[in-house]
A = this chain, B = another copy of it.
């Protein structure tokens, strides 16, 4: 039941010795999603021994080179390795014809089904979901169409503990009520609290990948109280005007977004190559949002399972 984010690259547009362009693996319950795919992503996957064949979906925030120039190399490598498993690409609609043209120019032939799902530049949308997870695409404000991605576990009805059902002879109607978190009072006087006869509630976890963008006020309830926010902080406060002009954010602005969203933790990333050291990013952000850390290539953040009894 893991929920991990591994940073493959957290630099801004020009790569440096310290940072690679944007890419990260979001691994939820052992399903692997690749979010953005800057140049060199496939090498980072190799270097970090991440099983790249297990990636089922690639999400591309926007079509600036530092977020997708590594995509075509990865797709070609999959073909050379004989991949047969379907791969879904989610991103701006211009991505599909570019990929198909580039494969043609480089005489590459895929060995696996490649599906495309375009993102919307205007509205929040669920772009993919299964029984236990939904991924929302959320428009950001950048120089070109750009989307953030919210990974949100789903809530489920409560599960009764089997031996208790048998022991206390809990009937179907009683089960339904207990799963809906209702207390049962029998005519005999027996009382069953769902917190006593149900498995613990597992709180749904959530992660919001938010780059590149101006700092935004998100009027979207699904984004409130997220467990983890990755927000771009291309610049420090001294370059606020530059950030505004280039549709980016500062570390302080990212921290303010985390505060507004009541996020539990913040990772700063997408650092401009102009800064030789990053200490000031975390200092500036912590003055507003204390639970801030800096992204770093090869580092993994895990969102732990949280159990909780719900008030009835």
Contact = CB atoms under 8 A, between A and B. Distances in A.
Given A65-B106, A106-B64, A107-B63, A20 B39 contact: no
Interface string A104-127: 011110000000000000000000
A288 to B, nearest CB: 29
B14 A80 contact: yes
Interface in A32-89: 39-40, 42-43, 46-47, 63-65, 68-70, 72-73, 76-77, 80-81
Contacts of A94: 105
B73 A65 contact: yes
Nearest to A68: B106
A161 interface: no
Interface string A1-40: 0000000000001111100110000000000000000011
Q: How large is the interface on A (under 10, 10 to 19, 20 to 34, 35 or more residues)?
A: 35 or more
A155 interface: no
Count of identical protomers in the assembly: 2
A164 interface: no
B46 A107 contact: no
Given A17-B47, A46-B17, A47-B17, A106 B63 contact: yes
A301 interface: no
A102 interface: yes
A43 B20 contact: yes
Given A46-B15, A63-B107, A72 B73 contact: no
Q: Does more than half of chain A's interface fall in helix, strand or loop, or is it mixed?
A: loop
Contact of A105 (B15, B21, B63): B63
A101 B40 CA distance: 21
Interface of A: 13-17, 20-21, 39-40, 42-43, 46-47, 63-65, 68-70, 72-73, 76-77, 80-81, 94, 98, 101-102, 105-108, 143-144
24 contacts: A13-B77, A13-B80, A14-B80, A14-B81, A15-B43, A15-B46, A15-B73, A15-B77, A20-B43, A39-B73, A63-B105, A63-B107, A64-B107, A65-B73, A65-B76, A65-B108, A69-B72, A69-B76, A94-B105, A98-B101, A98-B102, A101-B101, A107-B143, A107-B144
